[in-house]
A = this chain, B = another copy of it.
Amino acid sequence: MDLNAYMLGLGKTARQCARPMARATTAQKNAALLAIARQLEHDQAAILQANGEDLRAAEAQKLEAALLDRLALNPARFADMLAGLEQVAALRDPIGEIEDLQYRPSGIQIGQMRVPLGVVGIIYESRPNVTVDAAALCLKSGNATILRGGSEALRSNQALAQALHQGLADSGLPAAAVQVLDTTERQAVDRLVSMPEYVDVIVPRGGKGLIERVSAHARVPVIKHLDGICHVYVHADADLAMAERIVVNAKTHRYGVCNAMETLLVDQSIAAQALPRLLPPLRARGVELRGCERSRALDAQLLAASEADWSTEYLAPILAIRLVDGLDAAMEHIERYGSHHTDAIVTRDLACARRFLNEVDSSSVMVNASTRFADGFEYGLGAEIGISTDKFHARGPVGLNGLTSLKWIVIGDGQIRGG
């Protein structure tokens, strides 16, 4: 098969489906989401069988255990997928919402109406459940979508795609509004991200390598999700009991997530009291602690942190610790080494809290809360297509609105422009 022609065909089809999807009513879209859930339930045996074949092939290729785990669609994950569809159906439909409708001195009434972006391309790795989650968000936001999953999940994704198509068709929406690539050629990704005539935005979901590859080749906008090198800064005027709670939660609640703390900054002026309080509960949970020289002078058990530690996303039970001389030094460190993802201060001082909120240039900036809250569900978005580390378009957790745009509407009764 000619890959270029295949990709152009997918693009054209998606573009054709974008208009009927944009016009679909809330009732139609919700019906399609629920029809897909029913169809998935109906097809469950066939899907799990396809997934089993993917798993056996992956085992034969001796892929690593973590990848096999992500690839597996067990009954619990299947149930989560169905629940996710119902949750997205229950979300308020953003399409057609009108903001700030107001009269202008000319007598025209203007506002901004929320509309779909058009065609959304999503590129992800081994988890087949992303096929359904991502399709659901694009469907609810009135977009057509082209999905490109991991090559090791091809059979699972094709089986899921059948249910998606059936559910769409059952609800009178175009089955091809969700297309799932059935090729594992890597060049397909390069082509998908370089068809601005057919694709309006690309969302890569996966590791840094994937996102960098997509960004390097992209000729269309990309909603990027890069590193989370998140900091908690324990200010001189912190409540130490609160700091302990937040530090332990931000580091140990889950290790492999982008909103986990990777570096702890402690104000030098309270370090002698703070470290004996903050470090033992981390050690008790098996976290490896690597400190700067000044911190090691206070706690001899600390391993030595190197310069590279300040810019490492461990995604593991490891924590870098640095003493800093006040708020400005803390913000300097975050600006220099952080990834503009999520950073928190623990303080009772109002002026410091305000400065931290205003001046730290991260997609989520927090006062007296765990970095783990940086999440679409916790923020009330209902669902999340990713966490953007870009500033353009959408920043931080991206929900349905991130897959939409605002167009201007003008209503008059015959106004013309003078002057």
Contacts and interface: CB of A to CB of B under 8 A. Distances in A.
Interface of A: 19, 22-23, 96, 102, 104, 106, 108, 110, 113, 115, 117-118, 200-201, 221, 239, 242, 245-246, 248-250, 253, 335, 344, 353, 357-359, 361-370, 372-374, 378-380, 391-393, 395-397, 405-417
Nearest to A102: B380
Most buried by B among A344, A367, A410: A410
A357 B412 CA distance: 12
Nearest to A417: B372
Q: How many copies does the complex hold?
A: 2
B358 A96 contact: yes
Given A22-B361, A369-B412, A395-B408, 6 more contacts: A104-B379, A245-B416, A363-B408, A364-B407, A364-B410, A369-B414
Contacts of A96: 358
Contacts of A410: 344, 364-367, 369, 373-374
A63 to B, nearest CB: 30
A414 B372 contact: no
B253 A417 contact: yes
Contacts of A416: 245-246, 248-250, 253, 369-370, 372
A228 to B, nearest CB: 14
Contacts of A253: 416-417
B373 A415 contact: yes
Nearest to A413: B368
Most buried by B among A358, A380, A417: A417
A353 to B, nearest CB: 8
A393 B408 CA distance: 14
A369 B108 contact: yes
Nearest to A415: B369
Given A104-B378, A106-B373, A416-B249, A407 B242 contact: no
